């Protein structure tokens, strides 16, 4: 780990301890800032400062991997609670905090953010975003985190705005409306900084919206480009939607993407086609729903797409964080993207071309015989939702969902939260009314929760084979972090937070945090001490080694 220098301001210890780094601006004497501006250089090289967690997925390749190793597989049993921060709203939290030089930024329901001292959890400031009282949100008042560039935070809000907030004070810098919330648009995901722009998606796939990914000038808030996830009638792929169904086709973009600086490509997943469970009104493959998109960052033009679930009728959004790595496969170095999809298949894709390399199920599935040579699923007949109900695995919530998987460059394993469940899927006729839900059915678990299990599975991305699994009872909907201490951290719906050995999958430590863990863990260090943070229920817990 990097050595951290202690900055002394006028004989008083600064609360946040600033690590020495050549890239950061010098602090003025007497006004020691708790953090220094986060330049694009710093974001590009986030791996070089593992004491900071500078973006939602940790680094631009989204590995959700912490380079810190002070806590490792032999001392993790000595973790203890260092502090807890209680979010004043009761909503379950999905936030992954960002930490910059000893300051932590935590987003809260409905669309607020607080800055706290990362060593103590005590508040610097808070920003409360004013919201209308007639929001259209499908699934709770969620917010998953901020992005930072320079001294400005960028956050999505439930009324489909992107706000820029001063990171030292919480003052609003600018506020941009992306779309009309009354038509069903909202925003929940952390944006992604690329150079001097803020790349961001939207939510609303249960409201017949039309998806897009935007890139804004970080300084001015001006739109640089918008990439629509459903092509308009002038584009040949528009033919993959029967009639006018493309207009209300969904394909929202509600989780953060990744970026490859060498290729200058932004990678982003898209959600379900709408209406979710009634495909009869939108015959065709429904491009580019349930897909991974590769967008040129200069222009927003699409370089390639890979559709995981053509003509989805089960709500299996490709809303997963794309994980990028360079792997040696068959004696050749390949730039790949790894993706465990809600449809229960794991994929390794060439991220230069979008070529399908590897694909195998990682969770129970009964809807496809397998994938063909191009990675397209070979569907089993009679697995579509019906009026009387059709039972299929995975369930609506998927073999996995939006919470982050992790990749460790040390073990070369991809860690995913897998669920071996099933649902009975129903289909309904439904007319589109702007601003109303447009789902065309639903799913229902046929048996008690205890009949099904989750497991953390370690996948070999070169083969798609499972290396080990750790079973969780009854289930988990938590993200995963891997660390250089060869640990894998995650949690469960019944309120455990735990650590596994990244190599063997053995359980090494667990703690009852009392309520649903629905976010993803992250790690950082202040003053030379490593911390591990997880939100559970509406509380943000931070653990460290016993002093």
Mind telling me the catalytic residues?
Answer: 315
Q: Which of 122, 451, 463, 465 contacts other proteins by CB under 8 A?
A: 451
- Interface characters, 455-474, with other proteins (x: CB under 8 A): ----------------xxxx
Q: Which of 262, 332, 450, 547 binds other proteins (CB under 8 A)?
A: 450
**Binds other proteins by CB under 8 A, chosen from 435, 504, 528, 545:** 435
Work out which of 6, 78, 84, 89 binds other proteins, going by CB under 8 A. 89
Query: At closest approach, how far in Å is the CB of 449 from other proteins?
Result: 8
Name which of 61, 52, 64 is nearest 490 in CA terms: 64
H or E, element range at 465: strand 465-472
Smallest gap from Cβ 76 to other proteins, in A, equals: 15
Other Cβ atoms closer than 10 A to 530 = 23
In the complex, minimum distance from the CB of residue 209 to other proteins, in angstroms, rounded to a whole number: 15
Identify which of residues 377 and 397 has a Cβ nearer to other proteins in the complex. Answer: 397
Out of 168, 364, 410, 510, the residue judged to bind other proteins by CB under 8 A: 510
Q: Which residues contact 451 (CB under 8 A, 6 or more apart)?
A: none
Distances (CA, A) of 399 to 139, 215, 337, 394, 396: 18, 31, 19, 5, 9
Report in angstroms how near the CB of residue 405 gets to other proteins at its nearest. Answer: 19
- Torsion angle of alpha carbons 496, 499, 501, 507, nearest 10°? -40
Whether the Cβ atoms of residue 444 and residue 426 lie closer than 8 Å to each other: yes
- Nearest CA among 338, 351, 354, 364 for reference residue 480: 338
Indicate whether 354 belongs to the interface with other proteins (CB under 8 A). Answer: no
Q: Which of 36, 439, 520, 523 binds other proteins (CB under 8 A)?
A: 439
Q: What does the alpha-carbon distance between residue 276 and residue 263 come to, in Å, rounded to a whole number?
A: 34
Cα(159)–Cα(420) distance, rounded to whole angstroms?
A: 34
- Contact predicate 508/497, CB 8 Å: no
Q: Check: CB of residue 489 under 8 Å from CB of residue 483.
A: yes
CA distance 482 to 59: 13
d(CA 107, CA 96): 8
Between 103 and 458, whose beta carbon lies closer to other proteins?
458
443 binds other proteins (CB under 8 A): yes
Residue whose CB is less far from other proteins, 472 or 540: 472
Q: DSSP state, 135?
A: -
Does position 280 interact with other proteins (CB under 8 A)? The reply is no
Judged by CB, which is closer to other proteins: 26, or 388?
A: 388
Minimum CB separation of residue 385 from other proteins in Å reads 10
Q: Would you say 144 or 334 has its CB closer to other proteins?
A: 144
x/- mask, other proteins, residues 377-416, rule CB under 8 A, reads ------------x-----xxx-------------------
Question: Distance between CA 530 and CA 514 in Å, rounded?
Answer: 23
Find the shortest distance in angstroms from Cβ 500 to other proteins. Answer: 11
Paired tokens of 431: 């007319």
Radius of gyration of the chain from Cα atoms? 22
From 72, 215, 242, select the one nearest 154 (Cα to Cα).
215
Q: In what order do the strands lie in the sheet with 453-460?
A: 406-408, 413-420, 453-460, 465-472
Q: Which of 437, 462, 467, 469 binds other proteins (CB under 8 A)?
A: 437
Site for other proteins in 204-263 (CB under 8 A): 206
Count of residues interacting with other proteins (CB under 8 A): 44
- The one segment of 113-121, 232-240, 357-365, 489-497 that binds other proteins by CB under 8 A: 489-497
Half-sphere exposure of 57 (CA within 13 A, CB side): 27
**Cβ closest to other proteins, residue 105 vs residue 497:** 497
Among residues 341, 249, 345, which one has the least CA distance to residue 288? Answer: 249
Nearer to other proteins, 334 or 475 (CB): 475
Place of tokens 């299990």: 453
Could you tell me how many residues make up the chain? 547
Contact call for residues 520 and 496 (beta carbons, < 8 A): no
* Both structure tokens of 83: 């502090």
Q: Min. distance of Cβ 506 from other proteins in angstroms?
A: 11
Of residues 104-143, those binding other proteins (CB under 8 A):
109, 134, 136-141
Cβ proximity to other proteins: between 409 and 474 the closer is 474
Indicate which single residue of 48, 69, 91, 350 sits in contact with other proteins (rule: CB under 8 A): 91
- Of residues 330 and 450, the one with the C-beta less far from other proteins: 450
Please list every residue from 415 through 434 that binds other proteins, using CB under 8 A.
Answer: 424, 426, 428, 430, 433
CB of residue 140 to other proteins, shortest distance in Å: 5
The single-letter DSSP state of residue 337 is E
DSSP assignment of 255-276 equals S--EEETTTTEEEEE---BSSS
Under a CB-based contact definition with an 8 Å cutoff, are residues 312 and 289 in contact? yes
Q: Identify the residue among 65, 306, 496, 541 touching other proteins (CB under 8 A).
A: 496
Segment lying near other proteins (by CB under 8 A), choices 47-55, 153-161, 409-417, 490-498: 490-498
Q: How far is the CB of 446 from other proteins (least distance, A)?
A: 10
- Closer Cβ to other proteins, 514 or 528, answer by number: 514
Q: How far is the CB of 104 from other proteins (least distance, A)?
A: 24
Residues binding other proteins (CB under 8 A)? 89-91, 109, 134, 136-141, 206, 389, 395-397, 424, 426, 428, 430, 433, 435-437, 439, 441-445, 448-451, 471-474, 492, 494, 496, 498, 507, 510
């Amino acid at each position: 780990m990097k050595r951290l220098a202690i900055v002394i301001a006028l004989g008083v210890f600064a609360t946040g301890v600033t690590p020495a780094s050549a890239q950061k601006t010098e602090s003025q004497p007497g006004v020691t800032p708790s953090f220094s501006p986060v330049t694009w250089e710093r974001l590009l090289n986030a791996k070089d400062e593992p004491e900071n967690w500078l973006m939602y997925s940790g680094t631009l390749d989204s590995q959700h991997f912490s380079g810190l190793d002070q806590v490792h597989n032999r001392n993790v049993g000595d973790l203890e609670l260092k502090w807890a921060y209680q979010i004043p709203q009761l909503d379950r939290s999905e936030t992954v905090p960002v930490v910059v030089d000893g300051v932590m930024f935590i987003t809260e329901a409905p669309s607020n953010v607080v800055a706290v001292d990362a060593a103590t959890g005590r508040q610097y400031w808070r920003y409360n975003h004013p919201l209308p009282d007639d929001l259209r949100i499908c699934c709770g008042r969620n917010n998953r985190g901020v992005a930072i560039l320079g001294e400005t935070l960028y956050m999505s809000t439930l009324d489909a705005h992107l706000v820029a907030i001063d990171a030292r004070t919480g003052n609003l810098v600018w506020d941009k409306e992306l779309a009309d919330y009354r038509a069903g648009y909202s925003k929940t995901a952390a944006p992604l900084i690329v150079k001097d722009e803020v790349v961001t998606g939207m939510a609303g796939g249960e409201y017949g919206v039309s998806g897009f990914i935007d890139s804004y000038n970080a300084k001015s808030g001006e739109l640089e480009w918008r990439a629509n996830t459903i092509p308009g009638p002038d584009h040949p792929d528009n033919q993959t939607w029967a009639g006018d169904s493309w207009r209300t086709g969904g394909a929202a973009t509600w989780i953060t993407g990744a970026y490859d600086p060498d290729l200058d490509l932004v990678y982003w997943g898209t959600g379900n086609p709408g209406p979710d469970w009634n495909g009869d009104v939108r015959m065709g493959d429904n491009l580019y729903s349930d897909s991974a998109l590769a967008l040129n960052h200069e222009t927003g033009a699409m370089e390639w797409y890979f559709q995981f679930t053509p003509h989805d009728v089960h709500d299996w959004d490709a809303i997963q964080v794309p994980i990028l790595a360079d792997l040696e496969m068959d004696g050749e170095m390949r730039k790949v993207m790894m993706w465990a999809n809600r449809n229960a298949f794991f994929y390794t894709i060439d991220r230069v071309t979008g070529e399908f390399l590897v694909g195998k199920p990682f969770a129970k599935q009964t809807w496809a015989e397998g994938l063909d040579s191009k990675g397209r699923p070979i569907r089993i007949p009679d697995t579509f939702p019906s009026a009387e109900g059709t039972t299929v695995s995975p369930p609506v919530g998927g073999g996995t969902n939006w919470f982050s998987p992790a990749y460790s460059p040390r073990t070369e394993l991809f860690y995913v939260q897998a669920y071996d469940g099933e649902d009975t899927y129903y289909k309904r006729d439904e007319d589109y009314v702007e601003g109303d839900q447009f789902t065309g059915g639903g799913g229902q678990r046929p048996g008690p929760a205890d009949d099904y299990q989750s497991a953390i599975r370690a996948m070999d991305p070169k083969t798609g084979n499972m290396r080990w699994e750790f079973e969780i009872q009854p289930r988990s909907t938590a993200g995963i972090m891997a660390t250089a201490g060869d640990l894998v951290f995650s949690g469960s719906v019944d309120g455990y937070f735990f650590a596994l050995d990244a190599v063997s999958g053995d359980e090494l430590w667990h703690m009852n945090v009392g309520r649903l863990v629905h976010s993803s863990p992250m790690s950082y260090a202040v003053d030379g001490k490593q911390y591990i943070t997880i939100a559970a229920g509406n509380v943000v817990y931070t653990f460290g080694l016993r002093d």
